[in-house]
Amino acid sequence: MSPVRFEMLATDGSARTGRLHTPHGVVTTPAFMPVGTRGTVRNVGVDDLDAVGAKMVLANTYHLMLRPGADVVASLGGLHGFSGWEGPMLTDSGGYQVFSLDPDLDEEGVTFASTYDGSAVRLTPEDAVAVQEQLGADVAMVLDHLVGLPASPAVVRDAMERTLRWSERALGAHSRSDQALFGIVQGGTDPDLRAESARRTAALGFAGFGIGGLSVGESAAERAVALDAVLPELPTTTVRYVMGLGDTEGVLDAVERGCDLFDCVWPTRLARHGKVLSRLGDYSIRRAEFKADSGPIDPECGCFTCTTHSRGYLRHLNVTGELLGHRLLSIHNLFYTLAVLADAAAAIASGRFSDFRGELVRSRASRASE
């Protein structure tokens, strides 16, 4: 039996809420995972993650295998002991770096030039599994071949087929009984390729499924077509994870279609540039109009930042480059993003998801246009 299982609680149309059971705790879905690339979410500590309501955190296999090394992480108690985060964790496989770093790729695997010292780094599907078993997250992902969009049908099919072959190899290599291995669906925005990839990946019998190859240049309409092709082919009894998706409208669109789990650097990356995410629309705290503003980012937000600090103070921190500004905006943006998913789960349970989604999207659009 897999150490990770999905329990359905309620549905509202195709949208669903449930519980993802893991060795380190239970995650109510739909849920958002803050991204802790190098074993830490940028500018916030594990106490901050607890305070904003995070339940599950993602870490990056590629970066951790290079620094400090998977063996070092393992010797310090795995990712949980190493980072101090006691809740569920997921590690990606390095597949995103296949897209972003343009490595040399062959049937056996990929060869990167290290982002740290330029040395050659080899990663195969078996290596990716071995590294993630050392890191010890609750969920590991197979190594996949991700391509940017738009791309030719031949390129997309080639990547999809390679991902399927690598998935079989990953399953054969995976041995850690307290860790689940998730498959990844590819296929670009071609609905036929997407459906085929989902059907064949599901047949391999993974404990859960990532929907990859999105948020890489496609439009919202193209993403919707891809999701509509994939979801009917995946088991309803396993979790569906849309990889790399984190904007409010995109996430709500995917939840409406029956997706459960999300991750993105969006909340913390934007915070470092002074960008606020909120029900009132997204905006820059650096705007001159906030110089002497005594009000919070959002008067209805219950995060530490909004209940403690004014927009005037937050603007001051940001324009003067104070690191505290990055932390405080990160806390707010994460709180907001996690609250959207928590509220979505409650709305699904009460049969009012459509109303919830419509009200939030309209609020954000109307405030942003003011």
Segment 292-316 shows an average pLDDT of 97
Segment 130-154 shows an average pLDDT of 95
Return the SS3 of 139: strand
User: Model confidence at 148, in pLDDT bands (50, 70, 90)?
Assistant: confident
- Is the domain of 140 the same as that of 207? yes
Q: Give the model's pLDDT for residue 202.
A: 98
- Is the domain of 100 the same as that of 187? yes
Question: Average model confidence (pLDDT) for the chain?
Answer: 96
Catalytic one of 12, 127, 263, 298 = 263
Last residue of one domain, picked from the residues 198, 230, 264? 264
Last residue of one domain, picked from the residues 215, 232, 264? 264
154 and 180 Cβ atoms separated by less than 8 Å: no
| Cα distance between the two ends of the chain | 53
Q: Is the pLDDT of residue 6 over 80?
A: yes
- In terms of Cβ atoms closer than 10 Å to its own Cβ (0-12, 13-18, 19+), residue 127 is buried
Q: Is the pLDDT of residue 155 over 60?
A: yes
Could you please report the per-residue DSSP string of 308-361?
A: H--HHHHHHHHHTT-HHHHHHHHHHHHHHHHHHHHHHHHHHHTT-HHHHHHHHH
- Going by C-alpha positions, the residue among 27, 30, 33 that lies closest to residue 5 is 27
269 belongs to a structural domain: no
- Is the domain of 260 the same as that of 284? no
Q: Give the model's pLDDT for residue 295.
A: 98
- Is the domain of 312 the same as that of 221? no
Catalytic residue status for 92? yes
Q: Is the pLDDT of residue 23 over 90?
A: yes
* Number of domain units in the chain: 2
Determine the Cα–Cα distance for residues 228 and 19; give it in Å rounded to an integer: 23
Token look-up 């599994």 returns: 129
Token look-up 């209805």 returns: 300
Return the SS3 of 61: helix
Catalytic one of 92, 127, 138, 144 = 92
Residue 259 belongs to domain with CATH number: 3.20.20.105
The model's pTM: 0.97
- Is the domain of 239 the same as that of 287? no
Q: Sign of the C-alpha dihedral, residues 49, 336, 5, 26? A: positive
What domain range includes position 305? 274-368
- Is the domain of 93 the same as that of 144? yes
- Is the domain of 246 the same as that of 336? no
**218-230: pLDDT as tens digits:** 999 999 999 999 9
Q: Give the model's pLDDT for residue 369.
A: 46
**339-355: pLDDT as tens digits:** 999 999 999 999 999 99
Last residue of one domain, picked from the residues 264, 290, 317? 264
Q: Is the pLDDT of residue 367 over 70?
A: no
